[in-house]
Structure 1
Amino acid sequence: MSLKTEWITFEQDGSKHRLYTARLERAKTPLPVVIVIQEIWGTDAHIRDVTERFAKAGFLAVAPDLYAVNGDRPASMTDERIEQIKAFLEALPPPSWHDAEAREAALANQPEKAREELRATYADVFANLKRLPQLLETLQATVSYLEGYELSKGQKAVSIGYCMGGALSLMLAASEPRLAGAAVYYGHLLGKEQIAGIQCPVVGFFGELDGRITSHVPEFAAAMQEAGKSFTYEIYDGAHHAFFNDTRGAYHAAASRDAWQKTLAFFTRVLA
């Protein structure tokens, strides 16, 4: 199975954007599109791997680099710096991630240069949780670009996002009528006022032990039904947040396997 992967750039409304793209080399183009939306860690090796998995399933898969500014990453959010902060945080209990005192205690054990780099990267990466409207603009620009892109022109597009990207996948569905479907993996859900804008089917996948998000699923499902929207979902027993990320301790093989199969079936149906 031969894949064609590459980074491409495009300009939209005076801004330059960057996409990681993957497709089967022998697939006849144009192809239906899966837009893969990153976790807070960016278009890292895991997200690029997931993008390639969708390409192997016969789609043109693209992962927008939401942290690129005019096509380039800021120094504090290069791949190397993000891997550094990921390794640091993965060694801490999850409650410490957002506990400044606990983080500082752990940082005290780092060399001075690494300590300053970790502080800067942490601040810049997690600040993106307050920049979702700006990140959404990049996704909207991507949808517009793909309409005329030679490898996807005339084809439908869907979105899928993980964690922060899950929230963005829903936000894109609520703001982009050209989307044929949206999938959310353990991302924050929308309020009633935003649901009205959703015009495509939505599917969600959640972990039973991810209470801060999963506890809101029944309310969201009821609001979607009341608004006449299509929403189906799975909550996996024994699964934590980020259960699909096979580079992290929360990975849950059975939940991931089932979610992957259901996601492919959903995309195949709405992209037909």
Structure 2
Amino acid sequence: MSDKDHALPRRSFLAGAGTLGFALAVQPIAASTIMTDSQSLQTGVPAIDTGSGTMAGYYARPAQTGGPLPLVIVIQEIFGVHEHIKDLCRRLAKHGYLAVAPELYFRHGNPAQAPDTDTLLRDIVAKVPDGEVQSDLDATWRWAGTHGADLQRAAVTGFCWGGRQSWLYAARNPALKAAAAWYGKLEGPVTDNMPRHPLDIVADLKVPVLGLYGAQDQSIPVASVEKMRAALKLAGKDSDIVIYPDAGHGFNADYRPGYNPKDAQDGWQKMLDWFARHGAR
């Protein structure tokens, strides 16, 4: 059964879209938005002990299971754990995973209330240190291990802001089996909050990473992606980069105008195959 088989009718979904958990900064919601049902799933809000506060988020898992489930940690876009990220968790749960998306901005503000992207970036995103995010991902890992996940079959994926964090977490957690980074930035200025970027930690990668990028991305030049491809090859890493010629940034974000359904579906299947090939299934 494909992900499309679980999508709710467009008309009924869009009629209630304003009441769902989409960030203000991404309004209006595009007609292409997918809403995956929760039939046969258990969904909820985790209470993740970070050691410096309780972190919420969203999780989805099959309702009936005979044992521990393979895990995917889903790392949010800049807009936080809004309805699209929750939907991605439900899609993964339909494939048999425990999927959990932690609210990684929880100490700094609510991205759902930011009126526009510039405000969100300035008042929340810029204040979130990489070290804090990576520690919170460790906490999410621990939470999953005590809530039905098989940590021997675990992966991480992230989108945009979360794509970059996925590369970093693949260099941090050797117990992961695989990672998939969707259009995450690979290089940039070094700051106190961002002391290293994915291109800086290629030699430290501990698990295979699948990078999914668009050639029409105005924020991540193809030259940067090719630089990462060359660095991975030079370091002898079992990772791969896919560049979609017609895709722009956020091509998997079905709620936005830049959504590219053909490439999004292909990338999603490639991600699932990548996880299975490397033991995260």
- Which interval holds the TM-score relative to the shorter structure? 0.7 to 0.9
Matches of 1:191 and 1:19, distance apart in 2: 25
Task: Tell me the TM-score normalised to structure 1 length.
Answer: 0.78
Identical-residue share of aligned pairs (%): 35
After superposing on structure 2, the runs of 4+ consecutive aligned residues of structure 1 that deviate more than 6 Å are none
- Structure 1 counterpart of 2:208, from 201, 212, 236: 201
Please list, as runs of the form range in 1=range in 2, the aligned pairs for 1:152-167 lying within 5 A after superposition. 152-167=149-164
Moved more, 254-263 or 14-23: 14-23
Q: CA RMSD in A?
A: 2.0
| Structure with max Cα Rg | 1
Match of 1:210, SS? coil
Whether contact under 8 Å (2:72, 2:157) holds in the other structure is yes
Corresponding residue for residue 141 of structure 1: 139
- Given that 2:214 and 2:251 are in contact with CA atoms closer than 8 Å, whether structure 1 keeps it comes out as yes
Shift of 1:122: 5.1
More helix by share: 1
Deviations 1:31-66 (A, max 9, x none): 010111000000001100011100111100000110
Are 2:49 and 1:16 aligned?
no
In structure 2, the CA distance between the partners of 1:66 and 1:191, relative to structure 1 (3 Å rule), is closer
Deviation of 1:143 (Å): 1.8
Contact 1:12-1:145 within 8 A present in 2 as well: no
Other-structure match for 2:229: 221
What secondary structure is seen at the aligned counterpart in 1 of 2:167? helix
The equivalent of 1:26 in structure 2 is 64
How far off is 1:67 after superposition? 1.4
* Residue-by-residue CA offset, 1:133-161 (whole Å, 9 max, x unaligned): 322221122123323x1311454211101
Match of 2:36 in 1: none
Q: Which amino acid aligns with 1:242?
A: G
> Would the aligned equivalents of 1:30 and 1:155 in 2 still touch at CA under 8 Å?
no
Contact 2:168–2:198 (Cα < 8 Å) also in 1: no
d(CA) in 2 for partners of 1:261, 1:192: 25
Q: Secondary structure at the match of 1:196?
A: helix
Distance (Å, rounded) in 2 between the aligned partners of 1:154 and 1:174: 17
TM-score normalized by structure 2? 0.76
Find the aligned partners of 1:191 and 1:252 in 2 and give their Cα distance. 25
Q: The residue matched to 1:263 in structure 2 has which SS?
A: helix
**Are 2:79 and 1:41 equivalent residues in the alignment?**
yes
Q: What count of residue pairs does the alignment treat as equivalent?
A: 231
1:150 and 2:147 matched = yes
Distance of 1:177 and 1:122 partners within structure 2:
31
